[in-house]
Structure 1
Amino acid sequence: MQNKLAYVGVFLLGSLLVGCANSTDVDRRAQNQFVTEFYAYVQEVKKVRFKSYIGEGMAVGAIGGVIEGSDGDKEDMIAGGIAGALVGGLFAAIFEGSSKGYEYQLKAVDGDVVTVIVGKKSGAVGECVSVRVAGDVRLTQRPMESCIEAAKEYPSL
């Protein structure tokens, strides 16, 4: 009976922690930052790859594994190094997340041209996006009417 209660407790605690995670929350690094929002047209989208530190994580893990296995024989050190490399690389991959990103060249409705790099695809060439800059950059696809309406503030363009 106690085992069942323990499993239920762990499940409820895990559910609570997952429920608290919300990707729409503002990152704390954005606190006390200058925030601006504007509409823009997507002129160009390029795929980019973010630098990965999996190799460094594997190296650190391998060194730790070799040190941990140094009280045994040569085979223990080799096995520790291999296991450490796998664990170090796995942790680095988990914490990094996806290495894919997108570079957007945008033309703001006021005529400015800006380039931003984001982690997920948020619009295609010719589409309207809202751009929010606050410590990080977020693009959100919007109806074309949003850009047309915002551009009315700049009649000279």
Structure 2
Amino acid sequence: MPLAENFFDSDTFALTRNLAGFFVVVFWLATAFWVLKDARRRIDDPWLVAMAALLGLFPPFLGPIVYLFVRPHDSIEERLDRELENRALEERLAERDLRCPVCRGQVDASFLVCPVCTTRLKQACASCGSPLEPIWQVCPYCATSVPPGSTTSDDVLQPLRVRRSS
């Protein structure tokens, strides 16, 4: 056994042991730092980020594995992108499902008047009769100039006065 005792008492073994310990500590701190950086990307609440960082430190090497199981699936940026996509999709769907502002009846973008409550939705072009948006300065269908102020609040979104013959 003197050979084994000499090996464990040697400078080479002490250096190897110290280097291994150093690399274990560096790896432990690196995993804790990774947990902190990942938590900042995925969690909004600073308190929860601090708790995740502590979990990355203690218990060593087991904390980051536990964090991998309980961390949010997606990052804050990915959630914001998904919310923007959903909002854009909802706006596109809302454009398809136009409703009368008075009776909430379903109308088409080309309707001048709501067929349910006879509310005037848009002004017609004086030349071709196509529906005009209130901000248009020219009819896109026949290139007729729309005089400024031709559409007033009295004209649009008011019920039509239908004449009844007696």
The answer to whether the superposition gives a TM-score over 0.5 is: no
Structure richer in strand, relative to its length: 1
Q: TM-score, normalised by structure 1?
A: 0.25
Which one has the largest radius of gyration? 2
Q: TM-score, normalised by structure 2?
A: 0.24
